Amino acid sequence: MQEIVETTKMSTRGQVIIPKDVRDYIRAEENTIFTVVPLDKNTILMKKMDKKKLLEEFRNIRSNIKEKLSPEEIANEIRAHRKA
């Protein structure tokens, strides 16, 4: 594994720029999705997500559900959950 050490800082809006050398190494392009997990108060972990694999996984989950909800029912459930 190539050793790359870069620094970055967070903007006033909470945005963090991933340095170009790191983006190139992990082959991250515009609109790449990352999962961000805090390990402790000083350490975060970012994992690049593969959109195609994620979509496939969601489709597999959906195909295994016996009772399928309509898009309107899903939107209603989301609204109800957000209010709670």
Write the pLDDT tens digit of every residue in 24-80.
999 999 989 999 999 999 999 999 988 888 888 888 887 887 777 888 988 998 999
Residue 49 lies in a domain: yes
State if pTM tops 0.75: no
Residue 7 lies in a domain: no
Residue 69 lies in a domain: yes
pLDDT grade, residue 18 (50/70/90)?
very high
pLDDT grade, residue 1 (50/70/90)?
low
Residue 1 lies in a domain: no
Look up residue 42 and give its DSSP letter. Answer: T
Domain hosting residue 63, numbered range: 20-83
**pLDDT of res. 39:** 94
Question: How many domains does the structure of the chain reveal?
Answer: 1
Residue of 47, 44, 23 lying closest to 35 (CA atoms): 47
**pLDDT of res. 51:** 81
Residue 29 lies in a domain: yes
**pLDDT of res. 53:** 86
